[in-house]
């Protein structure tokens, strides 16, 4: 199998997982987004904002462009979920999720196959020479696992 076939399969998986996550978020009403996955665990809205911010971080991490919504970090990256803290509105987060993922996928599709094996921006050239697995493709694989993890959490929400 050619290298491009492996990449095509991975990008197909990315697109499928993002669609699955979108359908899952869309299955929650705005009110249900405030439900916790389990007692003392994240709320659905926090997961929505968190995974949106993480996908937004892919743009600079993979050298594809600037972040679209860096303001989400203060809510969903640097602080844990806090039911007392006011978060951006559900409609805003849903729109950011769809916007970020459409942009990321567009960039993914234009990146040549060989570019996926190049280093990402958080590793120096010296580090990359010692650890060539610290490449863009490996970041993509880790983010696929991240989506799966959060999809698993959302299945546990008791509505």
Q: What is the pLDDT along the chain (159 residues), one digit of tens a residue?
A: 566 899 999 999 999 999 999 999 999 999 999 999 988 899 999 999 999 999 999 999 999 999 999 999 999 999 999 999 999 999 999 999 999 999 999 999 999 999 999 999 999 999 999 999 999 999 999 999 999 999 999 999 988
In angstroms, what CA-CA distances link 121 with 17, 57, 58, 117? 24, 11, 10, 12
Q: In terms of residue numbers, what domain contains 62? A: 3-155
User: Are the beta carbons of 59 and 110 closer than 8 angstroms?
Assistant: no
Domain total of the chain:
1
Instruction: List the one residue out of 70, 101, 65, 67 whose CA is nearest residue 88.
Output: 70
CATH code (residue 80): 1.20.120.450
Q: Which two tokens stand for residue 155?
A: 């299945």
User: Which residue, chain included where needed, has tokens 């679209």?
Assistant: 68
User: Are the beta carbons of 67 and 56 closer than 8 angstroms?
Assistant: yes
Q: Which two tokens stand for residue 135?
A: 């490449």
CA separation for the pair 142, 152 (Å, rounded): 15
């Amino acid at each position: 199998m050619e290298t491009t076939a492996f990449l095509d399969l991975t990008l197909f998986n990315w697109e499928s997982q993002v669609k699955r996550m979108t359908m899952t978020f869309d299955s929650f009403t705005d009110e249900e987004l405030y439900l916790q996955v389990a007692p003392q665990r994240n709320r659905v809205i926090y997961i929505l904002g968190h995974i949106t911010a993480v996908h937004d971080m892919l743009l600079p991490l993979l050298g594809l462009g600037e972040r679209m919504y860096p303001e989400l970090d203060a809510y969903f990256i640097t602080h844990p979920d806090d039911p007392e803290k006011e978060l951006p509105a559900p409609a805003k987060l849903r729109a950011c999720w769809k916007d970020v993922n459409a942009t990321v996928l567009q960039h993914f599709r234009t990146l040549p196959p060989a570019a996926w094996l190049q280093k990402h921006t958080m590793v120096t050239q010296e580090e990359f020479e010692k650890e060539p697995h610290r490449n863009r493709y490996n970041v993509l694989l880790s983010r696929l696992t991240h989506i799966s993890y959060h999809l698993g959490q959302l299945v546990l929400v008791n509505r």
